Structures are given as structure tokens and as C-alpha cells.
Amino acid sequence: MPDLTNFKKLGLSEQTLEALSEKGFEEPTKIQEECIPLLLKDQVDVIGQAQTGTGKTAAFGLPILEIVDPSIRSVQALILTPTRELAIQVADEITSLKGGKRIEVTSIYGGASIDNQLRKLRRGVQVVVGTPGRIQDHLKRGSLKLNQLKFAVLDEADEMLDMGFIEDIENILSKTPNEKRMLCFSATMPKPILSLANRFMVEPTIVRVKQTDITKNLTDQVYFEVRESDKLEALCRIIDMEEAFYGIIFCRTKVQCDDISRKLQDRGYDADALHGDLSQKQRELILNKMKKHNLSIIVATDVAARGIDINDLTHVINYSIPQAPEAYIHRIGRTGRAGKMGTAITFITPSEFRKFNFIKRAAKTDIRKASIPEAKEIISIRKDRIESELLSLLTNNVENEQFIPIARKMLESYDSEQVLASVLTHFYKDALDESKYKNLSSSRRNRGNDMPSRFQENEDGFVRLFIARGRKDGLGKRELVSYLTSKVKANDQDIQNVTVRDEFSFVSAPFEVAEDIIRIINKGNTSSKPIVTRAKPDNPNGKHLTRNKRSSSRRSERRPSRKKSNDDFQPYGRDSYGDNDWDSKPASSSKKKPHGKYNKKSRRR
């Protein structure tokens, strides 16, 4: 039986300690050590800054289970999460921690049957874990009542901010009792989160777990310099180098996820894609297969992977470089957990070094450079592995007895080397076929001069595009970003440096996204001139205009600038502004409340 002395010191009951013992808990994590006494003894509001994998679910779940009254059949704890997967995960984890306590825990999220959720709420539950959208639905229906709420928890608060849930969260919290305790857990602490805490929390205690405690000691961080066209080959070589690869591969777009997972399947790997276009049933099926090790590889976007908690991942691979240091930290935090080493690999194209160096500095982490393994090196390792497997079989000869007569007869008639070689060929097939590995052009250290595409990436890894539509066509920055992301199924953060003028516009997009934009937008164009082209290197922002356009531009410059609500939008997170046809004037988008700007009101308590 594990020694739970340190858990007992935190103030947990014997019944809870028994549940922890059954789950195999031994020592509390840093966030648990700090938070549990604050919630049980001091009874204060808490802001916890901690990454994925630090044990924060138990940090707030255990005190909730200690304080919630099983005899009251109403909601006493509400936990908000950014994704369906995280809602399910948190609900399952809290359920496993309750032991013999008669406390009902349920998860509520979109994409699932609302009738089943209504039945559970009518029967009475004490703890509800859900996503902001579906929680609001139930509040409007009156099926979720929060008048007896004791705890409100925001889990992965910064992720909910990025996904545009800030107004939903404010609306939900405004319907909760003033006497409740509020807990906010977030990997980062941007100003909107602190402003939210200032509005709804009373003198919260801040608990921070340093990033170095999470990933630096247990995660080997590596980067490979590789050209875009060589990434798939490099990925396959890395997988083949490992005896048991079990990991998540992060891509920038849904289209890329599908493409990479399909190519991996074609090469014989157990891989599948996970992104926002999948139904909830499909997502749950893929995650269950992964947890049961029927899958060894998930290819995912950042949004789809939020809240996924899969144990014992050996690798996290950044197939596409993360857009921000926070995203890098989140990704690599999924491996190197629970005392087990993990490996985080990042592919860097030559044009992405400036962005990559910024991520390294901001994340304050050491990432070593490595070389992509040569085909001969992989084959040599595989030979050693096959030999090791055979030797282990020889030492365990209990089940071999029935095949000895067959083996003896074969060896009497045929050469022993030929017999064994035939058996190895049958079972290992092309495992030692060096020709299946393609030559890597990146090994020649080309700097993009012979990029096999019709255009090259710029120094930031983004391609500048010219779009023959502008304000006269009813476009603002919001409408333009929404249109492009809906057409190519990309994220808002993939469309950057947006410039909208009267008759044309410019955007920057990652290499793959830019190619999709040119191909898809121009496909349905009936005019002789393409709608989208690559911006000329000497004219990336329309500086060299015709005489009429130049004079028009000068006139507009003399006028005092006037910001429009739909023309100062810089994409951040997932927003949706409709899908407008460029041949008709788009409907004006409603003005949204900017993140982090709140009305000055008196404290709620």
C-alpha cells in the first residue's frame, strides 16, 4: 500500500486517501501541495498557474469532493473547460477520485445528446464539468440551476480566452452566487484573465508552478533543420528509429492533418488525424484507440489536441512550428510526465529560424540541434533489434517444443542459414529495405533557392499574397479573414499582416495555407485574371501604384484616419464572422467586445 502521509498532511479525509491509494497515488505534486490546503483550510479563491500534466485536476477536484454535500441533489460545483475532450477527461478523473462517496459527476458539452444531459440534470448531480457554449444553453433552458453553487472553476482559462469564450464565461459567472469559491487554472496569465479574476474573485491567492519543473528535466528537446518537402521523409525516419513510437504529431491546419495521416497510413503506420471537422463520436473513437494502443500516432491541430491527456507518450513532434511560445510549451508538456522521459522534436525550415529563436528565448528552454538519421543508420539499428528479439525468443523456449520436429526435419533437408533467412524474410519482410528511404534534399543544406513550389517562403516562413478585392467590394479585415479561413479550413492565426485597401488587399499565410488559398479561391473564378496571386517581391504591400491609384492613395493619406470596427482586426483565436461571397457585398459584422476590456463595476462580493 502506498505511503500517503504527505497527502494526509494536506487535510484530506481517510475516505479520500483510500481512493488515492486505489489509484496508485504516492506523492502530491507541487500544485496539489500548494492548492489543496488553501481550498480546504484557508477557504480562499485561488489562481493556479500551471501547465498540462502537473496534476491540477486533483488539485481542485479533491477539495471539491471533500466539501460537496452528497445529500443535496443540486449542482454545487461547476467546472468550465475549453474543449469536449477536456470536459470528459476532467469528469472521469474526478469520478475516479471520489471513491465510495455518493457524489454524481457529469460532463456537458456540445456534439452530444442534449436529452441525455437533461435526464442527468433532472435526476440531480453535484458536480458539472462542461464547455461554455453548452453550459449557456442549459442556463437559457433553465435545466441548469446554480443557486446552490459552492465552487466555480475555470480550467485552462487561457485556452478558453484564445477560443473566444471570454464573454460566455462572464455571462455564466454573472449567474452564480456571490458566496461561491472561485478557482482559475491557466498555463499563462494574460491581462484578460487577470481582469476576469479582478471582477469575479475576492483577493485570490496566486500559486505558480515553474515551467522548468514540468518539461525541462523530463523532456529531451530537439530540433531538425529540414526543408518542407523533406518533412514527411524525416518524420518516417524518426519513427523507424524508435522501438516503440507512441506520440502526437502537431500540424498547423486540418487539411495538413488529413494529408499527413493519410500518407503515414499508406506507408503502414498506425496513424489517424484529429481535428475540428470530426464528429464527437469520431473523436472519442480515435482517442479510445490511442489509449488502448491500437493507434500509435495521432496527427492533430493545437485546438483539437487541447485537453487530451494520454499517458506514456514517447514523442511530441512539431511538424509545423508553433505560432507562439505558449503553444510550444503546451505541446511539449504532453510528454515527459510522471517521472518518465519523453522527446519533443521540432522541424524547422531554413526560413523559420528567426521565429524559432524567438520561441526558444521566450520559453527559456534549451533545444539542441540534431541530424536526421541516415537510412544506413536506421537499417543497422533494425538489424540489432531483430537479433535481440530472436535471442529473447531462444531464452524462452517453453512454447517451442511442438515445432522442434519440424525444425529438425527442415535442417536435415536444407541449409540452416537458408531456413532461418526464409523465416526472417517472411516475418520482417521489407524491414531492412534501405531503398524505401528517399534521399533528403535538405542534406545538401539548400537554403530554399530551388523550392519545388511555384513560390518561396519569406524569412518568417509566411507567403505574402495579393488579393484583387478590397473595401469597394465590401471587405474589411474581419470579413477577409473569415472568408479565407472558411474556404481553406485554416485557423484565424494562419492569416496575418492583413492590409485592406479600396480595390485590393494583402495577407500573409504559411506556405501550405497560401498554396491552398491560391488554388481554391482561383478555382471558381470566371474572369481572365486570378483573384489571388503571390505578391511581387518588390511590391509586397502595393507601394508602387498606378498614377490614379497613387493620387487616390495620397488623397486618402491627407484625410484624418478613421478606424472602423471591422478594419482593426488582427486574428487571434477562433472567431467566426460568416462566409461571404466576394461577388456580393458582405454583411457588416457586429462589433464584438474586445478581449480584456471590461466595464468598471463594483466587486460582486
pLDDT digits over 69-104, tens only? 999 999 999 999 988 878 887 898 899 898 889 999
Helix H or strand E segment including 106: strand 105-108
Q: Looking at per-residue confidence, does 593 or 347 come out higher?
A: 347
Which position has the grid cell 485570490?
204
- What residues form DSSP beta bridges with 151? 77, 181
Phi, psi dihedrals of residue 463, rounded to the nearest 5°: -110, 135
Phi, psi dihedrals of residue 582, rounded to the nearest 5°: -70, -15
Q: How far apart are CA 320 and CA 352, in angstroms?
A: 10
Which position has the grid cell 470596427?
565
Residue extent(s) of CATH 3.40.50.300 domains in the chain: 5-209, 213-372
pLDDT of residue 250: 93
481-505 residues labelled b (16+ CB within 10 A) or e (exposed): bbbbbeebbbbbbbbbebbbbeebb
Is residue 462 very low, low, confident or very high in pLDDT (cuts 50, 70, 90)?
confident
User: By percentage, how much of the chain surpasses pLDDT 90?
Assistant: 30
Find out whether 433 and 388 touch, Cβ atoms under 8 Å: no
* Highest CATH level, class, for 213-372: alpha beta
Q: Which amino acid is at 381?
A: I
- What residues form DSSP beta bridges with 223? 346, 369
Task: List, for residues 511-555, the tens digit of each pLDDT value.
Answer: 778 888 988 888 877 777 889 998 876 555 554 444 444 444 444
Q: How far apart are CA 426 and CA 443, in angstroms?
A: 34
460-599: CATH number? 3.30.70.330
Q: Which amino acid is at 480?
A: L
Find out whether 250 and 300 touch, Cβ atoms under 8 Å: yes
pLDDT of residue 339: 63
pLDDT of residue 545: 43
pLDDT of residue 441: 64
Helix H or strand E segment including 363: helix 353-363
Q: How far apart are CA 319 and CA 345, in angstroms?
A: 8
Is residue 557 very low, low, confident or very high in pLDDT (cuts 50, 70, 90)?
very low
Helix H or strand E segment including 497: strand 496-500
Q: Looking at per-residue confidence, does 21 or 426 come out higher?
A: 21
Greatest Cα pair distance in the chain: 98
Q: How far apart are CA 272 and CA 294, in angstroms?
A: 11
Is 80 exceeded by the pLDDT of residue 372? yes
pLDDT of residue 19: 87
Is 70 exceeded by the pLDDT of residue 571? no
pLDDT of residue 457: 45
Parallel, antiparallel or unpaired: strands 462-467 and 505-510: antiparallel
Tell me, what DSSP letter sits at residue 181?
A: E
Average pLDDT of the chain to the nearest whole number: 78
Residue extent(s) of CATH 3.30.70.330 domains in the chain: 460-599
Tell me how far CA of residue 232 lies from CA of 52, 262, 283, 319, in angstroms.
28, 11, 24, 9
Find out whether 329 and 187 touch, Cβ atoms under 8 Å: yes
Q: Looking at per-residue confidence, does 445 or 183 come out higher?
A: 183
Q: Looking at per-residue confidence, does 253 or 306 come out higher?
A: 253
Q: How far apart are CA 487 and CA 205, in angstroms?
A: 45
Quick one: CA dihedral 200, 205, 206, 208, positive or negative?
Answer: negative
Q: Looking at per-residue confidence, does 493 or 4 come out higher?
A: 4
Tell me, what DSSP letter sits at residue 332?
A: H
pLDDT of residue 366: 79
Four-CA torsion 385, 389, 391, 393, nearest 10 degrees: 180
- Work out the average pLDDT over 454-483: 77
pLDDT of residue 265: 93
Is 32 in a helix, a strand, or coil? helix
- Work out the average pLDDT over 290-313: 83
Parallel, antiparallel or unpaired: strands 181-186 and 368-369: unpaired
Q: How far apart are CA 505 and CA 82, in angstroms?
A: 33
Is 60 exceeded by the pLDDT of residue 594? no
Q: How far apart are CA 511 and CA 413, in angstroms?
A: 61
pLDDT of residue 550: 43
Task: List, for residues 303-356, the tens digit of each pLDDT value.
Answer: 777 657 687 889 999 999 887 676 787 788 778 766 678 899 999 987 787 778
- Work out the average pLDDT over 504-509: 91
End-to-end CA distance of the chain: 45
pTM, full prediction: 0.48
Interior angle at CA 489, CA 307 and CA 464, nearest 5? 110
pLDDT of residue 337: 67
Q: How far apart are CA 300 and CA 260, in angstroms?
A: 10
Helix axes 416-428, 404-413, angle to 10 degrees: 120
pLDDT of residue 264: 94
- Choices 3.30.310.50, 3.40.50.10860, 3.40.50.300, 3.40.30.10: CATH for 5-209: 3.40.50.300
Q: How far apart are CA 529 and CA 516, in angstroms?
A: 18
Tell me, what DSSP letter sits at residue 38?
A: I
